[in-house]
Amino acid sequence: MHLPAIANEVGIKLNLDIINAISDRTPNLCKLSPAGQHHIEDLYFAGGVQAVMNELSKKGLIHLHLMTVTGKTVGENIKDANVKNYNVIRPIDNPYSETGGLVIVRGNLAPDGAVVKKSAVPPKLLRHRGPARVFESGEEVFEAILKGKIQKGDVIVIRYEGPKGGPGMREMLSPTSALAGVGLIEDVALITDGRFSGATRGACFGHVSPEAAERGPIAVVQDGDMISIDIENKTLTLEVPEEEIKRRLESLGPFEPKVKKGYLYRYSKLVRSASTGAILE
């Protein structure tokens, strides 16, 4: 989300699909918890981010000539940063995956895109089809998970948690932690217009845009609607006829901000969905 926000400030139009283009040619060399068994301190002692960059440069994947704030080029900064532990940072010829960890998915459920951390998704959930379980907040789904109301195969939908709906796009770490705690993280997908942190694992799709508060299709998903996920083909599909989606959107009432006064009210009125970087109009 930060990249399109920065791009907007400098007048650059950034298409999120560039993330897929970069990810498709960039191997995944390092998996840290919760996606892998190693931790951030292991990365540090293995050579750090600069060692990862140096390894990637062996296949011409880093622009070494670019100037940095150090007064030196990227190449000068990383030339002595060698990998000290190839169990933590894989060699360029033996990556965890030939493609990177992030994927932008699109479809009638997320026309302007959603983000998933592919590197942390269980293989069996890379493609999945299941019934929607719809919730209007992170608190609602957290309670449902702890009460055993979520079943294997379900696709949890959490909406009105985006920049406008939150307001402020809260982190959905509690629901994903709860799924892991009850042993469902490898059997349930989660889709939200809210956001996730780096601590999230599983088939978790965040930043769904347009968000529910901007009358995005996620606002009209109903319990039991079938949702198809195909991360390999970068699609997120609500299996409802387009005519029915249109009818539901037309009958949707106006969005009412959760906060009715003060700065958060003004923010909710002015902010755009995550695909824009949550910029203010």
3-state secondary structure of 164: coil
Please pick, among 197, 251, 268, 275, the residue that the annotation labels catalytic: 197
Question: Are the C-beta atoms of residues 178 and 97 closer than 8 Å to each other?
Answer: no
How many angstroms separate the CA atoms of 233 and 240, rounded?
19
Question: Are the C-beta atoms of residues 208 and 110 closer than 8 Å to each other?
Answer: yes
Tokens of 53: 């960059």
User: Does residue 57 have an active-site annotation?
Assistant: no
For residue 77, report the phi and psi dihedrals to the nearest 5 degrees.
-70, -35
The one-letter amino acid at 68: T
Cα-only R_g, the chain = 20
3-state secondary structure of 224: coil
How, if at all, do strands 110-117 and 204-206 pair? antiparallel
How many angstroms separate the CA atoms of 90 and 56, rounded?
10
Question: Are the C-beta atoms of residues 50 and 78 closer than 8 Å to each other?
Answer: yes
DSSP 8-state code for residue 158: E
Q: Which residues are catalytic?
A: 197
